[in-house]
Structure 1
Amino acid sequence: MSLWVKAIRLLAITAYQRHFPHLYNQVPLKKGQKLCMVNQLYPYTVRFTEDTSTFGSTGEGNKPVKRPYQKDSHGDEKEKESPAFKMSTPSHTEQASNGASVAEKATPQKAEPAGHWSQGLKVSMQDPKMQVYKDEKVVVIKDKYPKARYHWLVLPWESISSLKALRADHCELLKHMQTVGDRMIKQCPDAQKLRFRQGYHAIPSMSHIHLHVISQDFDSSCLKNKKHWNSFTTDYFIDSQEIIAMLERDGKVSVKEGVGEQLKLPLRCHVCRKEQATIPKLKDHLKIHLPS
């Protein structure tokens, strides 16, 4: 009987995809569940695959299968769409669509594996081809998907997961990161024409703390949606000096509750605050603020 239960657990039901694409799935059944086939209009193919693992074991065979992600930014990601639902258990590391819900939950999160998309910065900062500056404390890389004409990331060599992991003795490091950011701005050929900001996302989706140094033109094809825009033009983006002052005063950084809701705010020009209906209209509007 146990072999039957194991086989049922990996059951795959195939229907005619042309008529019922939502049934063209692989359906995993848990131990104790029963299979009832009541639709006699269309034929089904039932295929059993041998399960070499044992129930309740902690081996690789029972580990959850993480769904693949497709990244479009150092701070933005989405799941790859697939015509069929993959046979897997839900991943506890999946991000909410606004990029904030997971980080705001009170329950502690497990460290992500080295190959997870959220660890991408740790890989990029070690790549000599990505580095534009480095010293004994920090490294600077270009954002792979810049949201403006100039968009750098300043990362410390020291492993610091997020703003919440900062302590009072990190003040000097953050000041050095800002100094390096200032240096990047000064060497920029358009430094006299463009305005820059340095700051941190309140709830970054990428692990390892990183300082954004970004020009305020936002003239980039990689800026595609409301989340991208609001993550740099609302209170979701916290100035570097504010973080340093908070750390010196309180010995820690406190992120405001519900700050993830900032990503859902209407699209407003960061210069004149005029509301725009869509990203294309916002981009057209931003042209009037670009330096000549």
Structure 2
Amino acid sequence: MTNSVGKGWASGLISTIKDPKNHIISSKDAVVIHDKYPKARHHYLVLPKADIPDIFHLNLSHLPLLEELHLLAQNVIEVKSFQLDDFKIGFHAQPSMQRLHLHVISKDFVSDCLKTKKHWVSFNTELFLQYQEAYARLKTDACIKRLTKEQIQELTASALECNQCEFEAKNMPDLKRHLLEHWAQRQ
């Protein structure tokens, strides 16, 4: 399947992980970096050093690697002195970047880089595959299957529902204002 996004942009993660200056934490098998376009106040990516294009190329032999990625995700939260419950850890079910990567993202979603409905639904619908679900699917089915075109269309058309309360926004600026109110209440 060909990606319509420019090859340079889609493969940007590969060049980023090659420079050790970008590593927050690393192990023998993986590295943690800052997301260059964070969709929340805290947004990290955990990438394997092995060249695995995406979640659809995983098989049973990758279960230990997934465990390592998850351990590093938990470690970056701990190193940064945050609480695990304040983060989502998972994969995009419709990846746009080459190289498997696990998102570690704070649930506040306060960011200038959160601009479009596509950004929101990619983290706050089933387009975001929680780590535990991805691991379970791989263990049970020996692979992770793609969503159907219909499923993707339905999820992309989802309402802009707040991830912290029952508020439904009419547009992204409305949702972003609402998320800032949640953030201000926590301060």
TM-score (norm 2): 0.90
* Cα offset, 1:150, TM superposition: 0.6
Name the count of aligned residue pairs.
182
* Counterpart AA for 2:45: L
Residue of structure 2 in register with 1:23 after alignment: none
CA separation in 1, counterparts of 2:135 and 2:3?
30
CA separation in 2, counterparts of 1:179 and 1:139?
11
% identical equivalent positions:
38
CA separation in 2, counterparts of 1:149 and 1:193?
15
CA separation in 2, counterparts of 1:120 and 1:212?
16
State whether residues 268 and 275 of structure 1, in contact with CA within 8 Å, keep that contact through their aligned partners in structure 2: yes
* Cα offset, 1:194, TM superposition: 6.7
Matched, 1:234 2:125: yes
| TM-superposition CA deviations, 1:251-282 (whole Å, max 9, x none) | 11113313422223221101213210121111
CA separation in 2, counterparts of 1:180 and 1:186?
10
| TM-superposition CA deviations, 1:53-111 (whole Å, max 9, x none) | xxxxxxxxxxxxxxxxxxxxxxxxxxxxxxxxxxxxxxx7524xxxxxxxxxxxxxxxx
* Counterpart AA for 1:177: L
CA separation in 1, counterparts of 2:152 and 2:166?
20
Matched, 1:265 2:158: yes
Considering only CA atoms, is the larger Rg found in Structure 1 or Structure 2?
1
* Counterpart AA for 1:241: Q
Which ranges of structure 1 fall in alignment gaps of 5 or more residues? 1-91, 96-111
Matched, 1:131 2:23: yes
Residue of structure 2 in register with 1:174 after alignment: 66
| TM-superposition CA deviations, 1:40-61 (whole Å, max 9, x none) | xxxxxxxxxxxxxxxxxxxxxx
* Counterpart AA for 2:51: S
**Paired residue secondary structure (2:109):** coil
* Cα offset, 1:135, TM superposition: 1.3
Instruction: Work out which of the residue numbers 43, 57, 66 in structure 2 matches 1:151.
Output: 43
Residue of structure 2 in register with 1:40 after alignment: none
* Cα offset, 1:188, TM superposition: 1.9
TM-score (norm 1): 0.59
Richer in helix (by share): 2
Moved over 2 A (4+): 92-95, 287-290
* Counterpart AA for 1:268: E
Instruction: Work out which of the residue numbers 51, 54, 74 in structure 2 matches 1:162.
Output: 54
Report which structure shows greater RCO (CA 8 Å, sep ≥6). Answer: 2
CA separation in 2, counterparts of 1:171 and 1:223?
31
* Counterpart AA for 1:144: K
Instruction: Tell me how large the CA RMSD over aligned residues is.
Output: 1.8
State whether residues 124 and 163 of structure 2, in contact with CA within 8 Å, keep that contact through their aligned partners in structure 1: yes
